[in-house]
Amino acid sequence: MSARAIKITAGVAVIAIAVAMLIWVSVGKGSVYYYTVSELLAKGPVQQVRVSGELVAGSVQGLGTTSLKFVLHDRDKPELTVPVTYEGPVPDTFKDQPDIEVVAEGDFAADGLFKATVLTPKCPSKYEAAP
Amino acid sequence: MNLLGYVCLILVSIACLGGLALALAAIVRRSDEAARSAFLAVHAVAALAVLASLSLVVLLVTRDFSNYYVYSYTARSLPFAYTLSAFWAGNAGSLLLWLLLMAVFSLVVLRQLRREAPSSAPHAAAVLLAITAFFALLMLFGNDSNPFLRQPGAIPADGRGMNPMLQHPGMVIHPVALYFGYVGLAVPFAVIMGGLLARSPSSAWLPALRRWSLLGWLFLGIGNLVGAWWAYVTLGWGGYWAWDPVENASLMPWLTATALVHSVAMLRRRQMFLGWTVLLAVFTFLLTIFGTFLTRSGIAASVHAFSDNTFIPWFTIFLLAALLFSVVVILYRRSDLRSGKRLDHLVSRESSFLYTNVVLLVITFVVLWGVVFPTVAGALHGAEVGLDPNFFTVATVPLALVLMLLIGLCPLLPWRGTDTPRLLKDVAWTATPAIVVLVVLLAVGIRKPYTLLSFTLATFTAVSVALQYGRGWRSRRRAAGVGWLRAFGGLVWNNRSRYGGFLVHLGVIVVLVGITGSYAFKQVVDGELAQGEVLEVGRFELTYDGLTVEDAPDKQLARATFTVRHGGQVVGEVDPVKEYYYASDQVWTRVDVRSNLAGDLYVALLAFQGTGESVSIRAEINPLVGWLWIGGGVLVAGGLIALWPARRSRVRAPS
């Protein structure tokens, strides 16, 4: 190998290692586990996770305020449910409609209550006209 | 009109495929006649795309609800401007805009190539027509991608109207600018692939390459900035960037396009970086397609719109085909890609361009990793792992700081090698004010290392840019013997790419200062207030005065009024609004923002009880956020200066 090729290889290797370390550290600080309702129930109490499920129609209490209570059910096994509480600004797209998919981020306590700190209604047509 | 538009779409597809066949024939048989026919087809494609677009415009402004697209996105009560912008409010219409831009841009660039690099024009035409054909066929055969479908059943009396969040000037500009950027960046790809295939000398197609790389880069930047501004003033969470997959999708090609613009500059001035230029043009194009794919397929968990999973196979095939084509062309012409010149020195102007390219590519890679990681991790572990914005900030902030340093250092380095004494002198000049800023910041009690570094490096870079301007200005005044003002104008005007570029650098730095300030010193206070009660946020006190409910034909507005005091003095009023739209059963929280150069007071009405006995609000102080938009304006101005076309006979001043 020529001296130039060695230099280039060394440079690329250094950059690759640095990037790998950067990503390693960042993934550690930024990853959040993503569960469905049934996976969350199987897992038991856990902190700082996301749970996604569908809204049980009519279960929402406190709409129009900043503290919500509602129930999510599993998409595939609707008999599995988890009650959720949330304090904070309610996204404009959060509505008490059946089958709206909701992602809540927060802690799942031993008493079976999910305390959410972030609430994201996943409306597939958020910026499109209402169906 | 429905029929006319539909027929135009079919004819566009036929003209694209016919033109593609003719262009290929022109390449294989080296027939000039076939090439001329292929260019006729390009003209036909452009004319038909314009006609199709005009049909949609007529359908929209006449509010012809027999058209399903018009019915879906407009209503009789919708203002005229938003009735026009409904053109790109939905999936099908935005694809038509894409097709229109692709057809018109192809025509413009091919006319330039016919003049300046005729041997590569048929090759570039083939690439452009293939891309246009993909979009035309997608519109015809995709699900929900044709804006000329008739309303099934009876013609309704009124349309469904536009989502209130789209009824905003930002959403009129943002998509158009993004599409200009996305489509504009397909052109450098076609130009360079055409040049390589035809073995046309790079000097012939370089002007076209430079113009379109800059144009695409500039518009993509405008699109991202306007999108951030729109999110800030309409979404009500006080931020402007959420590292959402769809936002990342348009950031990544902008980063590689930035590197592309720099590589093109090196190719132009020093005949170096040909390999980089080719690679970056390919990456950028592939990322624009990948971004479109992400946005429209709904494959990534995003709050953004346009999910149509029938697009997945279309885009997968197109992306793979484009990748395969690029790899084959690069391998086929790899011997042409070795530019004779090598870097003379590890610390020189040339090498600083190389480092900039590397850092930009690394940032792109990190963001790409963040976008695809959840899917990859899901496949590997079973349980899905998501990445929150923390990942992106932890990973990109150090890289952005390195970039800031490079922006400041680069113009201080001489071409080809290092003149160490002069470099040290210049660094001393530029580093001194930066150190003064650092000391001041430490004295006022700021201790966050990234914040300190960011402001220090910003000062260093701003001084370094000012030094370039100052030196050029002084020597121009001496050389030309004219007044200060004329010397400055002449300096910038005669070296537009150089001084436009410096202005862009300054804009980037100002943007980064705005981002740093609004992240590092953000304050958020939530509160529930009864009438007359006070909420303190930062240096302001907000007193809740009352709530008024207004009725409009299509909506109800609840407006809460607050008096803003600063140290006991009344400084103004804020009145955030919550709107309820009857037709769409949608709520829109319209924030109120009081801006000045120091920062924004940002107030959102979260909820109200009864007729307004008490309200819940979120009040935020977002320091320096206004600099983000100012810096964006500077960046755009610099880009326009660099892009301004040269007169045919131009005198180049020594730089």
> Is residue B59 over pLDDT 70?
yes
Is the Cβ of B342 closer than 8 Å to some Cβ of chain A? yes
> Is residue A5 over pLDDT 70?
yes
- Cα Rg for chain A, rounded, in angstroms? 21
Q: Give the model's pLDDT for residue B317.
A: 92
Average of per-residue pLDDT across B8-28: 97
Q: Give the model's pLDDT for residue B235.
A: 80
Reference B504, options B572, B403, B373, B619; nearest CA is B403
Percent of chain B with pLDDT over 90: 68
**Residues in contact with B561: Cβ distance below 8 Å, sequence separation at least 6, in sequence order:** B544, B545, B546, B547, B548, B573, B574, B575
Residues of B in Cβ contact (< 8 Å) with A127: 89, 163, 165-166, 304-306
Q: Give the model's pLDDT for residue A1.
A: 60
Under the banding of pLDDT at 50, 70 and 90, the label for residue B297 is low
Q: Report pLDDT digits (tens) over B102-129.
A: 999 999 999 999 999 999 999 999 999 9
Is B395 within 8 Å of A90 when comparing Cβ atoms? no
Q: Give the model's pLDDT for residue A124.
A: 45
Under the banding of pLDDT at 50, 70 and 90, the label for residue B653 is very low
* Number of CB pairs, chain A paired with chain B, less than 8 A apart: 129
CB nearest to A92's CB, from B73, B305, B588:
B588
Is the Cβ of B229 closer than 8 Å to some Cβ of chain A? no
Is the Cβ of A13 closer than 8 Å to some Cβ of chain B? no
Residues of A in Cβ contact (< 8 Å) with B227: none
> Is residue B584 over pLDDT 80?
no
Rounded Cα gap, residues B108 and B130, in angstroms: 16
Q: Give the model's pLDDT for residue A131.
A: 30
Q: Report pLDDT digits (tens) over B167-204.
A: 889 989 999 999 999 999 999 999 999 999 999 998 99
Q: Report pLDDT digits (tens) over A57-82.
A: 889 998 888 899 999 999 888 899 99
CB nearest to A23's CB, from B160, B369, B586:
B369
Residues of A in Cβ contact (< 8 Å) with B584: 129-130
Residues of B in Cβ contact (< 8 Å) with A66: 526, 528, 606-607, 616
What's the token pair of residue A35?
Answer: 């569960």
Rounded Cα gap, residues B455 and B512, in angstroms: 9
Residues of B in Cβ contact (< 8 Å) with A65: 607, 609, 616
Interface test with B, best of A4, A22, A43, A105 (most B CBs within 10 A): A22
Percent of chain A with pLDDT over 70: 92
Rounded Cα gap, residues A37 and A15, in angstroms: 41
DSSP assignment of B390-412 equals HHHHHHHHHHHHHHHHHHHHGGG
Interface test with B, best of A12, A32, A49, A95 (most B CBs within 10 A): A32
Is B606 within 8 Å of A66 when comparing Cβ atoms? yes
Percent of chain B with pLDDT over 70: 95
> Is residue B481 over pLDDT 70?
yes
Is B392 within 8 Å of A103 when comparing Cβ atoms? no
Q: Give the model's pLDDT for residue A9.
A: 87
Residues 60-89 of A with CB under 8 A from B: 64-66, 88-89
> Is residue B372 over pLDDT 70?
yes
Average of per-residue pLDDT across A77-101: 86
> Is residue B418 over pLDDT 50?
yes
Under the banding of pLDDT at 50, 70 and 90, the label for residue A127 is very low
> Is residue B420 over pLDDT 50?
yes
Average of per-residue pLDDT across A39-49: 90
Q: How far is A111 from chain B (nearest CA, A)?
A: 23
Q: What share of chain A is helix, strand, coil (3-state, %, to 5)?
A: 25, 35, 35
CB B652, CB B564: distance < 8 Å: no
**Residues in contact with B120: Cβ distance below 8 Å, sequence separation at least 6, in sequence order:** B113, B191, B194, B195, B197, B198, B200, B204, B205
Rounded Cα gap, residues B65 and B488, in angstroms: 56
Under the banding of pLDDT at 50, 70 and 90, the label for residue A41 is very high
CB A105, CB A48: distance < 8 Å: yes
Q: What share of chain B is helix, strand, coil (3-state, %, to 5)?
A: 65, 15, 20
> Is residue B301 over pLDDT 70?
no
Rounded Cα gap, residues B123 and B118, in angstroms: 10
> Is residue B609 over pLDDT 90?
no
Average pLDDT, chain A: 84
Q: Report pLDDT digits (tens) over B592-603.
A: 999 999 999 999
Q: Report pLDDT digits (tens) over B450-464.
A: 999 999 999 999 999
Is A126 within 8 Å of B304 when comparing Cβ atoms? yes
Cβ count within 10 A of residue B108: 14
Average pLDDT, chain B: 90
> Is residue A30 over pLDDT 60?
yes
CB B285, CB B189: distance < 8 Å: yes
| Lowest-pLDDT choice from B334-338, B444-448, B495-499 | B334-338
Kindly give the residue spans of alpha helices, DSSP state H, lying in B186-333: 186-198, 202-234, 245-270, 274-297, 311-332
Rounded Cα gap, residues B345 and B272, in angstroms: 14
Average of per-residue pLDDT across B66-73: 92
Query: How, if at all, do strands A101-108 and A114-122 pair?
Result: antiparallel
Query: How, if at all, do strands B523-530 and B614-623 pair?
Result: antiparallel
Is the Cβ of B394 closer than 8 Å to some Cβ of chain A? yes
HSE-up of B440 (CA within 13 Å, CB side)?
A: 9
> Is residue B300 over pLDDT 70?
no
Is A34 within 8 Å of B384 when comparing Cβ atoms? yes
> Is residue B306 over pLDDT 90?
no
Q: Give the model's pLDDT for residue A93.
A: 79
Main-chain dihedrals φ then ψ at residue A74, nearest 5 degrees: -70, 145
Rounded Cα gap, residues B397 and B293, in angstroms: 27
Query: How, if at all, do strands A114-122 and A67-73 pair?
Result: unpaired
CB B39, CB B124: distance < 8 Å: no
Residues 583-622 of B with CB under 8 A from A: 583-589, 604, 606-609, 616, 618
| Lowest-pLDDT choice from B89-93, B118-122, B289-293, B339-343 | B339-343
Is the Cβ of B344 closer than 8 Å to some Cβ of chain A? no
